[in-house]
Amino acid sequence: MLLTPSKGENLPTAYGGAIVVGYAKVVKENVYMRCTHCGAVYDASPRRFFCEKCGGILEVVVEPPKQVVFRGRGVWRYHSLLPLNTSEPVTLNEGNTPLLEIKRIAENISFKGKLYAKYEGANPTGSFKDRGMTVAVTLAREIGVRHAIAASTGNTASSAAAYTARAGIKLTLVLPRGKVALGKLGQSILHGADIVEIEGSFDDALKAVIKASTISTSVYPLNSFNAWRLEGQKTIAFEIWEEIGVPDWVVVPVGNGGNIAAIWKGFKELREAGLIDSLPRMAGVQASGAAPLATAFERGLDKPEFVEKPETIATAIRIGKPINWAKAMKAVRESNGVFVKVTDEEILAAQHMLARLEGIGAEPAGAASIAGLKKLVEEGVIERGETVVVVVTGHALKDPDSMMRAPCRRKVASTVDEAVRMVVGGE
Ligand SMILES: Cc1ncc(COP(=O)(O)O)c(C=O)c1O
Ligand SMILES: [Zn+2]
């Protein structure tokens, strides 16, 4: 049900109370939904994704609670800032990921400030998606979903497969055929998802999921157009803040644009709750063959021109039509941030640098943020004395083929003695 159209940020608390009967138990009272495009507000519903007035994408609004309590570890530590009431989440203890100072990379790029990597590869299935999935699958279970669906470049698939397995919910994935990295496909198979491989891109797969969830309420979508999922992902901001306060910049690889929007939302909510008074600038990094947002930013456009045939080695961000484009552009604009493009060569070089200077294994998309950081420092956009957090979104094991492309001195020894000579002789 549409409540009232509104352009303002500050809506009456009363709207938060209007929850559809049946969801009231799981959705908190201080929660409603709002269109990112036209500002229309709606009561909170787990099955509401797009604006009835303009078709724009919705966000979940959690009004600042009276009391903020942080308890425990990981995503559910921030229960008081999350939209759900639950004492038994579907969890694999996601979140609480390492925030690692990366001094050797800082030195390598002549960066004099404080530089950190937020290593999201350390999540249970190896990417930040787990933070969102714990929330979305908990909600799905609470409202009685039996069959979930998701389109994916790979990591959403792995994560949805693990969390739906834990919740006892059937999952069907729609994947772009031949374009999902081996580790991710393997995880999806291992956790028992049904898989539909579409001859097309991720954007086609997503279209199929949106259509399916529009025509049938018997399937529940776990993609990032489901704003409830992004609520879990905002906890990246909370963890960064608890550990080092508010950095000057947060650098994030961007595909559909959900994660950068979620992190920005997290920082804004900390400010609304009176816990911080400054905000970081957000830098979104796209691969040059799949960069509709970075191109729009370069050209000063309000809307991106979609890319029909996106191409990059960083398959996780091989997306031409970012479903959350408006949220991502808003995050960058509001934060006085930037979008930047990096080439596949720069992404692979960053992946190797992260692995070899810091011991951090990232899949290519996960290292794209490091490539973006390097470029932004070289261009003087990020100043050399600032405090920067680079989000490394996915684990190296996700994409074994990309690891095998790293340069390596490998030899074959046919005898033990030859191996000994090679080892001690440095041959
Ligand atoms: C490793 C990795 N990094 C970055 C992204 C991009 O995130 P978003 O689509 O929220 O922009 C994805 C999305 O699949 C991903 O798997
Ligand atoms: Zn709208």
The response to whether residue 257 sits with its C-beta less than 6 Å from ligand 1 reads yes
Q: What is the pLDDT of residue 425?
A: 85
Q: How many CB atoms within 10 Å of residue 268? A: 18
- Dig out the tokens for 110 from the structure: 């002549």
C-alpha 180/C-alpha 136 separation (Å) is 22
**Domain covering 129-224 in this structure, CATH number:** 3.40.50.1100
**Whole-prediction pTM:** 0.94
The two beta strands, 147-151 and 220-221, are: parallel
Distance (Å) from CA 280 to ligand 2 centroid = 27
Distance (Å) from CA 67 to ligand 1 centroid = 32
Pocket test for ligand 1, best of 393, 399, 402 (most atoms within 8 A of CB): 393
Please, how many CA atoms are within 13 Å of residue 366, restricted to the half-sphere of its CB? 32
Backbone angles phi, psi at 281, to 5 degrees: -95, 140
The response to whether residue 253 sits with its C-beta less than 6 Å from ligand 1 reads yes
The response to whether residue 365 sits with its C-beta less than 6 Å from ligand 1 reads yes
The response to whether residue 316 sits with its C-beta less than 6 Å from ligand 1 reads yes
Distance (Å) from CA 21 to ligand 1 centroid = 34
Distance (Å) from CA 210 to ligand 2 centroid = 17
Assign 3-class secondary structure to the chain.
Answer: CECCCCCCCCCCHHHHHCCCCCCCCCECCCEEEEECCCCCEEECCCCCCECCCCCCEEEEEECCCCCCCCCCCCHHHHHHHCCECCCCCCCCCCCCCCEEECHHHHHHCCCCCEEEEEEHHHCCCCECHHHHHHHHHHHHHHCCCCEEEEECCCHHHHHHHHHHHHHCCEEEEEEECCCCCHHHHHHHHHCCCEEEEECCCHHHHHHHHHHHHHHCCCCEECCCCCHHHHHHHCHHHHHHHHHHCCCCEEEEECCCCHHHHHHHHHHHHHHHCCCCCCCCEEEEEEEHHHCHHHHHHHHCCCCCCCCCCCCCCCHHHCCCCCCCHHHHHHHHHHCCCEEEEECHHHHHHHHHHHHHHHCCCECHHHHHHHHHHHHHHHCCCCCCCCEEEEEECEEHHHCHHHHCCCCCCCCCCCCHHHHHHHHHHCC
Ligand nearest to the CA of 395: 1
Task: Please determine whether the domains at 99-126+229-403 and 129-224 fall in the same fold group of CATH.
Answer: yes
The response to whether residue 254 sits with its C-beta less than 6 Å from ligand 1 reads yes
**Which ligand 1 atom is nearest residue 254's CA?**
11
Q: What is the pLDDT of residue 31?
A: 97
Distance (Å) from CA 5 to ligand 2 centroid = 8
Q: What is the pLDDT along the chain (427 residues), one digit of tens a residue?
A: 333 333 333 333 332 333 334 566 899 999 999 999 999 999 999 999 999 999 999 999 999 999 999 999 999 999 999 999 998 999 999 999 999 999 999 999 999 999 999 999 999 999 999 999 999 999 999 999 999 999 999 999 999 999 999 999 999 999 999 999 999 999 999 999 999 999 999 999 999 999 999 999 999 999 999 999 999 999 999 999 999 999 999 999 999 999 999 999 999 999 999 999 999 999 999 999 999 999 999 999 999 999 999 999 999 999 999 999 999 999 999 999 999 999 999 999 999 999 999 999 999 999 999 999 999 999 999 999 999 999 999 999 999 999 999 999 999 999 999 999 999 986 5
C-alpha 85/C-alpha 95 separation (Å) is 19
C-alpha 284/C-alpha 251 separation (Å) is 6
- Dig out the tokens for 396 from the structure: 């190296």
Whole-angstrom CA distances from 353 to 113, 347, 385 are 18, 10, 21
Distance (Å) from CA 50 to ligand 2 centroid = 8
C-alpha 393/C-alpha 256 separation (Å) is 13
C-alpha 70/C-alpha 68 separation (Å) is 7
Cα–Cα nearest to 200, from 143, 253, 151, 135: 151
Q: What is the pLDDT of residue 11?
A: 32
Q: Domain extents for the chain?
A: 13-62, 99-126+229-403, 129-224
Cα Rg of the chain (Å, integer)? 21
Distance (Å) from CA 415 to ligand 1 centroid = 46
Asked if residue 411 lies in contact with residue 422, where contact means CB atoms within 8 angstroms, the answer is yes
Q: How many CB atoms within 10 Å of residue 393? A: 31
Query: CA angle, corner 201, sides to 196 and 206, nearest 5?
Result: 65
Query: CA angle, corner 157, sides to 154 and 162, nearest 5?
Result: 130
The response to whether residue 286 sits with its C-beta less than 6 Å from ligand 1 reads no
The response to whether residue 91 sits with its C-beta less than 6 Å from ligand 1 reads no
CATH class for domain 99-126+229-403? alpha beta
Cα–Cα nearest to 344, from 297, 400, 393, 285: 285
